[in-house]
């Protein structure tokens, strides 16, 4: 594994917009990741966060009107690095409870998103 790479990493993708989800999954796979998901609902995402052996996660905040923060708390408790990929980066909770979590504003350029995930993986190693 090269420094900052996501090659071989199992990446949980949580995104409710199917087109964005498919694009993210494709970009991650091209970057060498093994994609878990994408998961579109809070319940499915929570189950996946508890049950799957994942190395990283990329989380949309708004899932059909429900917030993804319960998933983020599960990942944090498990020690799985994650970042938010959202159009809702103005939330107070991101400045308080999740101030240490990277946020990529939608639409994020694929190359930069992969680099940020790679850096996150490297820091957690």
Chain-wide mean pLDDT for the chain?
A: 89
Residue 95, domain CATH = 3.40.50.2300
pLDDT at 73: 96
Within a domain: 1: no
DSSP string over the chain: --TT--TT-EEEEE-SSHHHHHHHHHHHHHTT-EEEEEE-SHHHHHHHHHHS--SEEEE-SEETTEESHHHHHHHHHHT--EEEEES-TT-HHHHTTTTTS-EEESSPPHHHHHHHHHHHHHHH-
Confidence of residue 4 (pLDDT cuts 50, 70, 90): low
Within a domain: 117: yes
Percent of the chain with pLDDT over 70: 95
pLDDT at 52: 75
pLDDT digits (tens, 9 = 90+) for 72-95: 999 999 999 999 988 877 788 888
Within a domain: 17: yes
Specify the pTM.
Answer: 0.91
Total domain count, the chain: 1
More confident residue, 125 or 108: 108
Domain of residue 54, residue span: 10-124
Is 17's pLDDT higher than 60? yes
């Amino acid at each position: 594994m090269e420094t900052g790479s996501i090659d071989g990493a199992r990446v949980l993708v949580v995104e409710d917009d199917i087109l964005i989800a498919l694009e993210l999954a494709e970009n991650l796979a091209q970057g060498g990741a093994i994609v878990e998901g994408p998961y579109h609902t809070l319940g499915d995402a929570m189950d996946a966060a508890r049950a799957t052996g994942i190395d990283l996660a990329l989380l949309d905040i708004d899932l059909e009107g429900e917030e993804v923060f319960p998933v983020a708390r599960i990942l944090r408790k498990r020690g799985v690095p994650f970042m938010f990929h959202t159009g809702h980066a103005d939330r107070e909770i991101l400045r308080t409870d999740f101030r240490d979590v990277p946020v990529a504003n939608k639409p994020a350029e694929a190359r930069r998103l992969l680099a940020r995930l790679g850096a996150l993986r490297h820091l957690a190693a």
